[in-house]
Structure 1
Amino acid sequence: MHRFDVETLTAGRWRNGGGATREIVSWPVGAEDFLWRASIADIDRDGPFSAFPGVDRTLTLLAGDGVRLTAPGVFDRTTRAEEPLAFPGDLELSAELRGGACRVLNIMVRRGRAVARVERVTGPVVPAGGHAGVLHVLRGRWRTEAGESPLTPGRGVWWDGNDGAPGRAVVPLSPDAAALWADVVPVG
């Protein structure tokens, strides 16, 4: 498992100037065409939302009052705190902030090659063999391995399907512990 801290990830501005992205992982690492990608996005203002043809996306609100995503006559949804919102990346969406800047966990998978299930968890997470994924801590403390420092809010781990993560649980250490878990499953 690979550890990350959102605050130490490099932030890259969006081409349209509406926000910034901190990439957790793009798999395979270094490939031009990702199979799956996880990032933290800071959305600073209303405006167009980048389309990703052939990609399925899941956004989960981490901070702020949310963002309304619309494609007239096709799609109209608003993010809610810690509730994953899935949608096709092909849509030409507009983003409207609900009370100011917000931060989201963004999971993207190449349609037909992988699927992602994102959920809020409060108990142990044990990655399945051949699956990739990300666990992002929302609250409390979590343990990955004996001897490693606990994961705290804004930190987490990711793994690919070949990491040997299966059977290596990520376990809550405090009663208030909550995290987002993205389970990425290859198709075919």
Structure 2
Amino acid sequence: MAEPVVLRAAVRAVVPWRNGAGTTTVVAEGPPSSAGSSGPTWPEPTWREPTWREPTWRVSVATIARSAPFSEFAGVDRLLMPLSAAGLDLVVDGRRVHGEALEVLAFAGESAVAAVDVAAEGLDLNLMTRRGSAEGQLRTVEVPTVLELAPHEVVGAVVLSGEARLGNDVLGALDAFLVPGPATVAVAGSGVLAMARISGVADPGS
């Protein structure tokens, strides 16, 4: 049974978007699509290396400080959850879309996407999965809760409000945990998690 790994918000490095138009922090990501069945990596994102290879999946928290285009990720499916009360306005392939706070917006990584009419700095949670290699779901879950993971699944959860407890570990706002494989995990506390569930991935050690 896989044990959850606690990922503290305070130790995440702030890194630029691929196009340089904003910044993000990587919560966790899976192996590069060319790297076989090695397990997930955290907290240092492999895409910061000079010999960058696309990860199979990535969970990240981006800062939206101004109206700006998003980076292109061809062959990637993207799910985005605005975390700020005002939500987020996007233009996706010429079509304007408004995402309310905690609503999940889906679009292709090769689409032309831009944040527009940004009046105040905000955050959004992102789940990216490489098409044909993994599939992702993103939703909110209230705690306490019990998470059930089947084989070939990974769950990354980020605390949005309140606190979550995993044994003796107490997680506050934007702290996260990763469960890299089949398991049953009881999460105590009171609050809301954003849960990214990734399926179709190789189990660590397989």
What range is the shorter-chain TM-score in?
0.7 to 0.9
- Look up the equivalent residue of 1:167 and give its one-letter code: T
> What is the TM-score normalised by the length of structure 2?
0.78
Report the counterpart of residue 23 of structure 1 in structure 2: 26
Say what the alpha-carbon RMSD is for the aligned residues: 2.1
- CA shift, 1:14, in A, is 2.7
Report the counterpart of residue 153 of structure 1 in structure 2: 173
Report the counterpart of residue 140 of structure 1 in structure 2: 162
> Does 1:10 pair with 2:13?
yes
Cα contact 1:59–1:86 (8 A) shared by 2: yes
In 2, the alpha carbon distance for the partners of 1:187 and 1:155 equals 23
Identity, % of aligned pairs? 30
- Look up the equivalent residue of 2:98 and give its one-letter code: T
Any idea what SS the aligned residue of 1:99 has? coil
- CA shift, 1:26, in A, is 1.9
Report the counterpart of residue 168 of structure 1 in structure 2: 185
- Deviation digits for residues 30-57 of structure 1, max 9, x if unmatched? 4822110011100111121111111111
- Look up the equivalent residue of 1:96 and give its one-letter code: V
- Look up the equivalent residue of 2:166 and give its one-letter code: T
Cα contact 2:154–2:201 (8 A) shared by 1: no
Report the counterpart of residue 89 of structure 2 in structure 1: 68
Q: Which structure 2 segments of 5+ residues have no match?
A: 32-40, 47-51
Any idea what SS the aligned residue of 2:83 has? strand
- CA shift, 1:112, in A, is 1.5
- CA shift, 1:15, in A, is 4.9
- Deviation digits for residues 108-144 of structure 1, max 9, x if unmatched? 0011211111111114141412211211111112122
> Does 1:45 pair with 2:62?
no
Cα contact 1:59–1:85 (8 A) shared by 2: yes
> What is the TM-score normalised by the length of structure 1?
0.85
Of 44, 54, 78, 1:33 maps to 54
In 2, the alpha carbon distance for the partners of 1:15 and 1:35 equals 17
- Look up the equivalent residue of 1:21 and give its one-letter code: T
Of 67, 75, 91, 1:54 maps to 75
